[in-house]
Chain A
Amino acid sequence: MAETVVGAEAGVARAQTSRWAQIKATVGAWSFMSPAIFLVLVFFFIPAILLFVLSMTDLASSNFSDPWTYIGLENYRRLFSDRFFPKILRNTFKYVFLTLGFFNVGLALVLALLTSHINRRASFLFRLLWLLPRITPSVVYIVMWRRFVQTPPYGIINWFLSMFGVERQPYWLTEMPWLFVVLVNGFVGASFGMIIFTSAIEAIPKDLFTAAKVDGASSWQIIRDITLPLLRWPLLFVTTYQTLSLLVSFEYILLLTQGGPGLYTTEVWALTAYKRALKTYFGSHAWGYGAAWGFILVIIGVVMSVVYLRVFRFDELVQEPKIDVL
């Protein structure tokens, strides 16, 4: 349209400059993204490919003299025909969604809402205290929990129970392994969401709450109608991020129950992968087989990410870039 007014020659010149500007913009964008792309390639794509390659071999400490034998999908066949495969899969989802629902998102949200309704200083102190387990070494943290649930005379829980005259004083960890697996993970996990949600709540303009109060809303109605809808983005972010991090986390379970008590009671996928590859009896590390377990976990993670992105419509939340093209 403009070209017809300014004439053909000027039009060509303009088209050229705009093409040049486009190239510059593209190069600029890629160079800004390159550090992130580099990191994702080196620390995700390449390891994932290596993992897949490894999973197609029979690499193990038992046949280390003759490594790298290509055995196709044999490891996967073995994995899916494992008697405990369905149980481990169920355990994994049970672990992820119970911890996520009750603690990493649920309790985190409750704590954030509570602390944002009390005095600033007190809430800051409270959040700081809640962060302590996160910066405590895992082993120390778990040893502490194992003491909590011990039989007398060591267990604090039982000591309290005896104060209330409760006679039965078992080793609670074997009594209710799942409760403690979820609790121990959730107690630490909740602090992440709490911090994110708290800062998101504090970022909501005060006037909105004043307006809602004047409009006639009760505290609960304010939370339901104003706070929660405005926390949509942090809620989705924490849910997605914590799902993925719970999927691959196993160290607390390893330290707490080692997947027991009994056969695979609290064993999750990541723990199995770890055990197969790196912690098998008699030093028989089945690296190839473990890699197959690991690779399936990668696939589960990717699928879940895609599902989250679709279900939560992340693309809608991503705004147009605010920075002008260079």
Chain B
Amino acid sequence: MKVELENLTKRWGDVFGADSIDLEITDGELVAFLGPSGCGKTTTLLMVAGIYKPTEGVIRFDERVVNHVAPKDRNVGMVFQSYALYPHMTVFRNISYPLKLKKVPQEEMQRRTQQVADMMGIGHLMDRKPAQLSGGQQQRVALGRALVKEPDLLLFDEPLSNLDARLRLSMRGEIKRLQLELGITSIYVTHDQVEAMTMADRIAVMREGKLLAYGSPEELYDRPRTLFIGGFVGNPPMNFVDVEVVQENGAYHARRGGFDVVVPPERGGQAAGHGTVIFGIRPEDVAIADDGVPGEIYVVEPLGRDDLIDVRMDEEARVHVLADPALGLRIGDNVKLRFNTDEAQFFDPETEQSLLWA
């Protein structure tokens, strides 16, 4: 099922929960609403579920406007951060509850509930109450309950945030695979950009009720349209340094103090002549080398596979670099940095818009 949000707005008095959101989700797509807490992603989700009435705007399921359709008639399944399992019901009754409400015959209800529970790997826990289950099992029950009624749309509200890191990783994969297999259009609300990057076909980045960007993970990662997206998407986050871009002998240079790197003309050309601009570069595009921009190591954070090195180039300019732990770098070492400027980003410091992908 296709979902379309048009100028969707939710206001409580003067407070905007969501501010004119426009976006379209194609059939079978998994879209992540990504943003810090209080950005309006859950508000938008609850409007799609029918719990909140939009102040303005239109929600369409396929061609049908559903603004005034009650939640029970929208055929959506929802999974919550708190799991929201009914504590007084057994696993079986939790999963079968949507079917019971639909007055599905007993026998079919039994069969479908068992089938979903088996798919989720909790078929043997049918008689337990939620309090007798682990967090991961509870989340599986919640997923089962959302899936059992064969919804046209699945809504996830930070479903993995209450799980421990390892379980989160495996559930992430499972949800993604399940969604692909069943081909159910899904909205996935999260504040974790790794989750959004790994799971979503497209990501809607939100802040303060507004939709800032909507695109595939690669698009957001490679072509961030604003400073906020550049800094928010990607882990560890992008480095930002104030520079001035000048053209010299046909080559573009990004410069500040002792920092001077050559940037490719298709990028440098866009940033030249703007005075001071913000130069953005991801940690994986900076390398410790034999020659390049000099700096002093300020902090070394071992991440296991890499060391995350914080290098101070001058008083105000610091960059994070991913380096090979085998290099044995230590705090205080003097190093040289080489920048892969093919991936350089430039932003206007005033408007915070990208100078490359306007």
Contact = CB atoms under 8 A, between A and B. Distances in A.
Interface of A: 205, 207-208, 210-218, 221, 225-226, 229-230, 232
A212 B93 CA distance: 13
Interface in B72-91: 72, 74, 76-78, 80, 82, 84, 86-88
Nearest to A204: B87
A63 to B, nearest CB: 60
A206 B86 CA distance: 12
A208 B77 CA distance: 14
Contacts of A214: 49-51, 71-72, 74, 76-78, 155
25 contacts: A205-B82, A207-B82, A208-B84, A208-B86, A210-B49, A210-B51, A211-B86, A212-B86, A212-B97, A213-B49, A213-B51, A213-B71, A213-B72, A214-B51, A214-B71, A214-B72, A214-B74, A214-B76, A214-B78, A215-B98, A216-B98, A216-B101, A225-B86, A226-B86, A230-B88
Contacts of A211: 78, 80, 84, 86, 145
A207 to B, nearest CB: 4
B202 interface: no
Contacts of B50: 213-214
Looking at A207, A211, A218, A225, the one whose CB has the most chain B CB atoms below 10 A away is: A211
A205 B85 CA distance: 10
A7 B97 CA distance: 56
B344 interface: no
A215 B145 contact: yes
A210 B52 CA distance: 10
Contacts of A218: 72
Interface string B151-172: 0000100000000000000000
A199 B48 CA distance: 30
A208 B97 CA distance: 12
B101 A215 contact: yes
Given A205-B82, A208-B86, A217 B49 contact: no
Contacts of B74: 214
A212 B74 CA distance: 13
Interface of B: 46, 49-51, 70-72, 74, 76-78, 80, 82, 84, 86-88, 97-98, 101-102, 145, 149, 155
Contacts of B102: 216
B101 A221 contact: yes
A216 B86 CA distance: 14
Contacts of A210: 46, 49, 51, 78, 80, 84
Contacts of B46: 210
B201 to A, nearest CB: 23
Given A210-B46, A210-B51, A205 B84 contact: yes
Nearest to A210: B51
Nearest to A226: B86
A218 B71 CA distance: 9
B158 to A, nearest CB: 11
B72 to A, nearest CB: 4
A215 B70 CA distance: 11
Contacts of B86: 208, 211-212, 225-226
A229 B88 contact: yes
A215 B51 contact: no
A205 B80 CA distance: 12
B98 A230 contact: no
Contacts of A225: 86, 97
Contacts of A216: 71-72, 98, 101-102, 149
A216 B146 CA distance: 11
A226 B87 CA distance: 9
Nearest to B93: A225
B187 to A, nearest CB: 13
A230 B87 CA distance: 8
Nearest to A232: B88
A210 B81 CA distance: 12
Contact of A215 (B87, B88, B97): B97
Given A211-B80, A214-B51, 14 more contacts: A205-B84, A207-B80, A211-B84, A213-B70, A214-B49, A214-B76, A214-B78, A215-B98, A215-B101, A215-B145, A216-B71, A216-B72, A216-B102, A230-B87
6 interchain residue pairs of minimum CB distance? A207-B84, A216-B72, A211-B84, A216-B101, A215-B98, A213-B71
B269 to A, nearest CB: 52
Contacts of B70: 213
A26 B163 CA distance: 38
